[in-house]
Amino acid sequence: MMQAILTLYEGNYHLGVGALINSAIGSGFKGKFFVGYRDSLPPWVAGLECSGEENYTVHGCELIFFRCDPARHLTYHKPFAALNILEDYPDVDAIFYADPDVLFLEQWTYFEKWIRCGVALCLDANFPFVGTFHPWRSEWCEMIDQSDLQVVNDSTDYYNAGFIGLAREDAEILRNWVTLIEHFEQQGGDTKEMDTGNFLISVRSDQELLAAAAMTFRRVSVVGLEAMGFNGHYCILSHAIESPKPWDCNFMSQACSAIGVSRSAKYYMQHSQYPIPLYHKYEYRLKMASVRINQLITRFYSKAR
């Protein structure tokens, strides 16, 4: 089975992309990576084996970059990019989308088994459930009806859109997700930005439209808060939803404010050097030293309390 991992990024999120690739390879992934970029290629590709225009080889895996500069925010573009890959690469049997701040922790065989159960989805940290008669879900039902789709799944689950995995035969959920995004845009919805701070509207980001798309598809396989480490149990994925992102953290400055190194930041550092080195050796040693000093200082603070 040929499998693909897709991610999209802009700016210095390329550091997260590198760690994501390293973590997947470390988990045993053997397939193709597709990386959509809005602005420029990562500087770390200079150290990779080039196998064609914007194509590279990493630890036996093919790494394919493509320019991705839609009018909409990249977060809304995920299903469009995933469908394009399935169209352009008929040899791809399964595709996994992951945000560039996601890392793979479990052995890859787990992910292969997961998508055999249905479309792989993870519960969200803030709203793992949105009730049947919640105003959001009622409006999603209206959108589904207006898009000539049908509700076939009455689950109250609400998913984090930072990860989705599926076999080619389950690509209908991607098509329905695209249909709902396009309907939202046609109705005047703004997909150029996210409005995650507004809890009164039924579509704040692509995540609500993923939840709506899942209502139109029966075969979904949902893992709870442990899927992304949201309950403190990191065993499948790590999703760095905090701010600043791990690559932007100043661990020494955080220590002075008694802020420790997050688990997701520790996993990021763990996957930041192999097989793709994201930092020069000297810079990496300094970062790891700051992690250890942070741990010492914050441990002292916690004992002092």
277 belongs to a structural domain:
yes
- What are the strands, taking DSSP E only, across 123-270? 163-167, 220-223, 237-239
Q: What is the pTM of this model?
A: 0.96
232 belongs to a structural domain:
no
Indicate the pairing of strand 55-58 with strand 61-67: antiparallel
Pair (15, 161) in one structural domain? yes
149-164 confidence digits (pLDDT tens): 999 999 999 999 999 9
180-189 confidence digits (pLDDT tens): 999 999 999 9
Q: pLDDT-based confidence at 298, cuts 50/70/90?
A: confident
Range of the domain at 262: 243-304
Pair (158, 247) in one structural domain? no
Q: What is the mean pLDDT of residues 14-30?
A: 99
234-282 confidence digits (pLDDT tens): 999 999 999 999 999 999 989 888 899 999 999 999 999 999 999 999 9
Pair (11, 101) in one structural domain? yes
| Burial environment of residue 102 by CB neighbours within 10 A (0 to 12, 13 to 18, 19 or more) | buried
Pair (191, 255) in one structural domain? no
The DSSP secondary-structure symbol of 75 reads G
Q: pLDDT-based confidence at 300, cuts 50/70/90?
A: low
Number of domains comprising the chain: 2
For the chain, the distance separating the N- and C-terminal CA atoms, rounded to the nearest angstrom, is 54
Q: Residues of 223-257 as b/e, b for ≥16 C-beta within 10 angstroms?
A: bebbbbbbeeebebbbbbbeeebbbebebeebbee
Pair (279, 188) in one structural domain? no
